[in-house]
Chain A
């Protein structure tokens, strides 16, 4: 028979919170039900139309102290279902105990682990001085602009009186666990090259294409040097170098 924590995890994985139209209502209903069963206080903050942050709270014995924030996002990225062995929203578990689903790693596992850890501690009769808040936020996979970015500006967030937060990390193929103490900053650059017109039969001077050529070369040279830097030093990880990708060309 299956561990009830695993069953709950699989139940959450079956909720279709996939972009571009995540079923956030179903996720919030499910998580609120689990939280209420655990005796946690529940609060919903609609940061903008249709975007609700669910806050579940286990009150500490000294509520004046700063709290522990356990954050997770409820949305997941899209799938190309034809490339999946099992349907990505059925949470199939194979004979080795591998559970297949979009969100199994990123990051529905963590949401349920937070809740199940609290279930265990409560069952053991534990209580702690600091309050623990769980926040379940929408929109992380599209930049968090209608999720955490707005929520941190709300009075309801300030009222949580956060001292320390946990949020998602990444899987690690080895025995070690990856622990992230900072993150890279995304930087979207748009370069516009303008040049002189003229008849296509001539060697027009000062063309946009020549300028673009220089820009692309310099980007790709930098990209290659960062790639080699990562490759040549085994102590470096992807977070230690600057990655660069040219994703769109228009004109």
Chain B
């Protein structure tokens, strides 16, 4: 049945843990005591029919995966219309975020804007102010790029200390998609930028408008006016039919339901770049225009929502790393709270301003761990600890918390969000 194996300490440990929990008996080379009825008895799926090809014109995940969903945290905001929910990053792998569970952040809800009713205006300091229909946009030459969109407030609840118990809640205001769209510079070129033009102001069709100012350099560099994500049209809640993609920069700038781009001679200093998305330092002075999202990482498993259930033995430690300053070059992982570090394995070479998956395969001896990950990007920036950030910024900057996360993995395999010295 199974090949003879030489029991090792870790295998014995694994077997013991398996017996203790009553699970995982057939794995890992441990000899089965009884034949497994899932093998020896004919199962119904091996006998009858499954569903026909007409059952599901557009499918959802199988019911067993029903916990892999967006979640919100009620007490974070006054209501659910101007609010946030969280991507279940603890349960995902690879780098592409399924659109159906990719986080949402609205300021006046997810609006329903048909392509027929969509208009994009370019005005201001241009030779010819223009109006485009959705169908006009599809006639411009297109590009495809994978980028992360991280809310400026991701991990913001953790400035004062460990609060929310799960990677979904501490790090899930993020998604990573392959976008198809027209370079913003192509559209600006169509209108013709005048020499006095130094900034653009972008706003959405929704009631909040979410207007933001962006320097012209960035607008002409890599911004994308996107209408597809992960191969299909944008989801309603992600800006259908057209959103702005601003690689590496805080999610608030990724204006959804994009309706107007104005070339201006200066910043508008709108509500979303004065009252919000400004970062107050300990001395009461606030940073504005903190656009770039710095290098960051998090172990997604094990983590509080993804405990170790299989006992000691081989363990896959995995997580995500990303940087708005460039490509991830390396991720280090510590299992002892930052005393020693090992270089993790990148699933793919890091791509600029996109999520990167890392793995560290270890032999877990069943003892407690303080798990951390530390990202390094192509600019040489090394992800700091939370305390190093607090030393510079204090506790009240709300946004841009890219400090190193610690999970306390206990002997029973459960994990908890903690802070360490």
- Tell me whether A and B are bound partners: no
Q: Residues on A close to B: CB < 8 A?
A: none
